Structure 1
Amino acid sequence: MRNIIPFMTRVPIRGDFEKARNEVWAFPLLAIITSSLPTLILYLDLPMKNILAILSLYSIIGLLHLDGLADWADGIMVKGDRERKIEAMKDLNTGIAGIFAVVMVLFIQIYSLNHLPFYAIFLAELNSKYAMLLALATKKPLGSGLGWYFMEKMNKRQLAVGTLLYSILIFPIGFYNPKAIFSVVGLLVGAYVMKVSIDNFGGLNGDCIGAIAEITRAGTLLLMAFVFMLLE
């Protein structure tokens, strides 16, 4: 797991990039690291805790996935054939669709946390990281970039270990608060983004996987907020 941490987070430790793709099974464990500070901020009920929690989250994971989300949205929204969409996604300039997607994801996360317990950010991050693992398991690379690089080493063993870790991490909270188990439904959001990506681009690249991570987290928080408000 040590090699995947510096690649997926801004934690200042050394890692071997070549070995990192053999450790994607540890994606669910990364949620513990990436959500630790945001969870603490929410637990302590600090002033402006929602904004501080999201800011601390991105200070740990960086903005790579948000950048991928922006590029992905530009590609999805452009009119034209598959080649035109891929070209728009790879364009270095961010369009209005990308800006809108980033703003909405940030807004949804900050707003949803108003109606959720402090551990919700951990569940959302857990879903986000597991959705990335599932995306790599599709084995549908687009091009020969980072998506292909990690998919090349993805196998049933890594998926099985990652799934086991996901289950071990999520179900204790479900026993503590049965409503929290509804967070699993958030994975359907990630599955939908995967389908949309494959339908529009013919496969998944780093931008698509970044979009899957961001939209899954935001979607999980929104769905959980709806369930908690409905059942309170």
Structure 2
Amino acid sequence: MRNLLSFLTRIPVRGDFERVREELWVFPLVSVVTSLPPMVILYFGIPLANLLALLTLYSIIGLLHLDGLADWADGVMVKGPREVKVKAMKDVNTGIAGVFAVTAVILIQLHSLSLAPFYSIFLAELNSKFAMLLGIGTRKPLGRGLGYYFMEGMNGRQLVYGTVLYLVLYAIPILYDPRAILGILGIIPGVYAIKISLENFGGINGDCLGAIAEITRAGTLLIIAVILNL
């Protein structure tokens, strides 16, 4: 997992990037590391816990996924054929759609964390990493960038192993609180983001994976917060 941590987080560990695609099935396990510090903050309920937890999370995972979300949103929202959408997504300048998407995702997470149980951040990160794995599992790369590199190493065995690992990890919070099973619905926004990516761009690249990760995490937190407060 060290190789994945060096790539998916800002944790100063040395890893071999060339071996990352051999360990794609371990994606769900990374969520344990990334969510533990913010989960501790939420558990003790210190003042502004939701804000501090979110800041802690992004200090661990970095802002690369948010950057991908901004580019992805610009591409999705622009009108025109697929070539125009891909060009907009790859534009180095961030448009209003990207700004709106990033702002919305941050605000949704921030407010939802104040209403959801402390373990929700773990479920959200777990769903986020699993959704990324599902996106890679489509094996429909856009270009020859990061998505292509990952998809070259993806196969049925890695997807099955990753799914089993996801379910095992998900069972842990359910044993603590049976209501945690509701969070599995959070994978739906991620699957929908994959669908939108394929429809708009014809494939998935690094920006799409970042968007899938962010949308899934925010969607999971929102679903848990809404359902548990009905």
> Shorter-chain TM-score: which interval?
over 0.9
User: Counterpart of 1:30?
Assistant: 30
1:21 is displaced (CA, Å) by 1.1
**Aligned equivalents of 1:225, 1:180: Cα separation in 2:** 11
TM-score normalised by the chain length of structure 2: 0.99
Q: 1:179·1:227 contact (CA, 8 Å) conserved in 2?
A: no
User: Counterpart of 1:136?
Assistant: 136
**Aligned equivalents of 1:174, 1:33: Cα separation in 2:** 19
1:175 is displaced (CA, Å) by 3.0
State the percentage of identical aligned residues. Answer: 62
Does the residue aligned with 1:174 lie in a helix, a strand or coil?
helix
Amino acid at match of 2:26: A
**Aligned equivalents of 2:112, 2:44: Cα separation in 1:** 18
**Aligned equivalents of 1:2, 1:78: Cα separation in 2:** 38
1:9-24 alignment to 2 at 5 Å? 9-24=9-24
**Aligned equivalents of 2:170, 2:4: Cα separation in 1:** 21
1:219 is displaced (CA, Å) by 0.2
1:176 is displaced (CA, Å) by 2.4
* Consecutive unaligned residues in structure 2, runs of 5 or more: none
* Consecutive unaligned residues in structure 1, runs of 5 or more: none
TM-score normalised by the chain length of structure 1: 0.98
**Aligned equivalents of 1:188, 1:106: Cα separation in 2:** 19
User: Counterpart of 2:183?
Assistant: 183
User: Counterpart of 1:110?
Assistant: 110
1:2 is displaced (CA, Å) by 1.6
**Aligned equivalents of 2:96, 2:104: Cα separation in 1:** 12
1:215 is displaced (CA, Å) by 0.2
Moved runs in structure 1, 4+ residues, more than 2 A?
Answer: none
Does the residue aligned with 1:118 lie in a helix, a strand or coil?
coil
Q: CA RMSD in A?
A: 0.7
* Matched residue count: 230
**Aligned equivalents of 2:115, 2:44: Cα separation in 1:** 16
